[in-house]
Structures are given as C-alpha cells and as structure tokens.
Amino acid sequence: MCDHQHAKGVTLWFTGLPCSGKSAVADRAAEILKNGGYNVERLDGDIVRQDLTRDLGFSKEDRDENIRRVTFVAKLLTRNNVIVLTSFISPYKAMREHARKEIGSFIEVYVNTPLETCIQRDVKGMYKKAMAGQIKEFTGISDPYEVPENPEMILECGAEPLEESARKVIQKLKDLGFVR
C-alpha cells in the first residue's frame, strides 16, 4: 500500500473522432503513470460498452446516457484520489460540460486528428461502412462531432508520434500539480 505515490484525483477526458488515437495515448499515459507508482484507472468506450452500458445503442439519448454513467464512475474514482483516463468519442459538447461540472477535477484533452488520418487508421472498416450507409449515426460521417471550444489540451495525433503525445499529457499533469 505504501509504495503508491499520493496524487490528487483528476479525470483526463480524451475526446475526438473514432480512430483518432484517444485510446492509444490514454493507454500509454496510464502505463507511464502506473510505472511511476500512481493509482490509475482507464475507462474506455469499447470496454465500458461490454459491461456498464451493454444495454445502450448509439442514438443521441443512448450516447448521452453512456457518458452520464461513465461520468458517475469517473467522479467516484477521482474523489478517491485516482487518476482517471477516459477515452470516449463523447461527440456532444453538452455532455462533456456535464462531465466537467460533475467531476470537478477535470482536464479535457481534444485529440485533433484529421478525418482522413482516422479513416486510414480504421482497421475495423467502420468509416467505410458508415460512408456506404451501413452504419447509421456514425460520428464524423452521418452524426456530428462538436469540437471542444476550450480544452485544457489539444493533441495533434495525426502529426506527432504516440510517445510525444503521451509525454505532453504527463507534462500537463505535472504543470497542474497532479503528479510529481
């Protein structure tokens, strides 16, 4: 128990288009923090939808409910001095603002990757299906993504290596006094 670094809890909220690199950067930053002895939890869209929000689809209402539940979990963890890294498309500004208000200790990280790059990285072929009309309500194609207006961080994951993005996240936590 004693080998854990004591940190103030905070939620890093990674948002961006599908395949923008949210999970990859959050995973790498979490790894660095864990290696530094910090209490870290990852909340990722795919994993959460297997358990916590298995009952939800992708309509606007269901997406909002998905983020509502995740916000609740992140809030509990943050309050218990855990560094929480979430990676959700979370396309709607109102729900990200709700998360910020509820959680309090909150850093919005906008993963700003060009649509073309996201499409190239899409191993599951989701964009292709969405463009062919086979997937309805697909963010960035048939459903809107509302770009954050004042995120604490913007990562250019199309232009910089993963390691550099992760390093910037850790530096931000240091600058804000969440980690040493």
3-state secondary structure at position 108 = strand
User: To which H or E segment does residue 110 belong?
Assistant: strand 106-111
How far is 45 from 54, CA to CA, in rounded Å?
11
- For the chain, the first-to-last Cα distance in angstroms comes to 19
Q: How far apart are CA 24 and CA 27, in angstroms?
A: 5
Half-sphere exposure of residue 47: CA atoms within 13 angstroms, side-chain side: 9
Q: Which of 87, 90, 105, 165 is catalytic?
A: 90
C-alpha to C-alpha distance for 67 and 89, rounded to whole angstroms: 10
Cα–Cα dist 16/89, whole Å: 5
Q: Is 87 a catalytic residue?
A: no
For residue 75, report the phi and psi dihedrals to the nearest 5 degrees.
Answer: -65, -45
Cα–chain center distance at 36: 21
List residues with catalytic annotation: 90
